[in-house]
Structure formats: structure tokens, C-alpha cells
């Protein structure tokens, strides 16, 4: 089996809540059968700090292009970057490679 890149924005009071919401949406969109190439294949995530001078999405792309070990494993955790506070929730970017 292969791997596909995924990137998805999600809101939640916490990163864990946003991750769960994003997975549930992916289950709805792609089904529960596995190998969807989406966040549905991920069980965990890792918080990643964006260095000064980088836009969050550009930094996520850089990590993927450089095959950074934090996000390069299709069976490993998704990357998670805090984007901004939006009213009473936070916005996060989840990204990485997922089995397909």
C-alpha cells in the first residue's frame, strides 16, 4: 500500500478536541475501511512549533518536503500546528502522510 499527503484545518477548545473532530469528519467523508490517505488513519498527533518567519502552512510543507521524521511516517502521528484563536475555539492545522 502507498501513502498520501493530507492537510486539514479544524477547530476545537483543545488540539485533542480538534483532532477528534477532524477524524470524525474524515470517517464521514471517506468511510471506516482504512487506507483512506486521510487523517482518519492517524491515532495521535504531535504539536509542532513554527519558527519565526514562517507561515504555518509553508512550514508544514517544508517538513514534508524534507521528509522530517516528526511527520514522515504514514503509520506515525499527524503533525499539528496551532494557527490562531477564533472566538472561543482554536484553529489547528493537522498534516502528514497517511496510508492509502
Please give, one letter per residue, the 3-state secondary structure of the chain: CCEEEEEEEEEECCHHHHHHHHHHHHHHHHCCCCCCCCHHHCCCEEECCCCCCCCHHHHHHHHHHCCCCCCCCCCCCEEEEEEEEECCEEEEEEEEEEEC
**What predicted TM-score, i.e. pTM, was given to this entire model?**
0.94
Per-residue pLDDT tens digits of the chain, which is 100 residues long: 689 999 999 999 999 999 999 999 999 998 888 899 999 999 999 999 999 999 999 999 999 999 999 999 999 999 999 999 999 999 999 999 999 9
Q: What is the pLDDT of residues 80-96, one digit of tens each?
A: 999 999 999 999 999 99
Cα(17)–Cα(36) distance, rounded to whole angstroms?
21
Residue 52: strand, helix, or coil: coil
Q: How many beta carbons lie within 10 A of that of residue 85, not counting itself? A: 9
Amino acid at each position: 500500500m502507498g501513502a498520501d499527503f493530507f492537510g486539514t484545518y479544524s477547530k476545537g477548545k483543545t488540539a485533542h478536541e480538534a483532532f477528534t473532530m477532524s477524524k470524525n469528519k474524515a470517517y464521514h467523508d471517506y468511510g471506516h475501511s482504512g487506507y483512506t490517505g486521510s487523517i482518519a488513519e492517524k491515532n495521535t498527533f504531535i504539536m509542532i512549533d513554527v519558527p519565526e518567519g514562517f507561515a504555518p502552512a509553508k512550514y508544514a510543507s517544508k517538513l514534508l518536503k524534507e521528509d522530517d521524521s516528526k511527520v514522515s511516517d504514514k503509520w506515525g502521528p499527524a503533525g499539528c500546528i496551532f494557527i490562531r484563536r477564533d472566538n472561543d475555539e482554536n484553529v489547528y492545522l493537522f498534516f502528514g502522510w497517511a496510508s492509502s
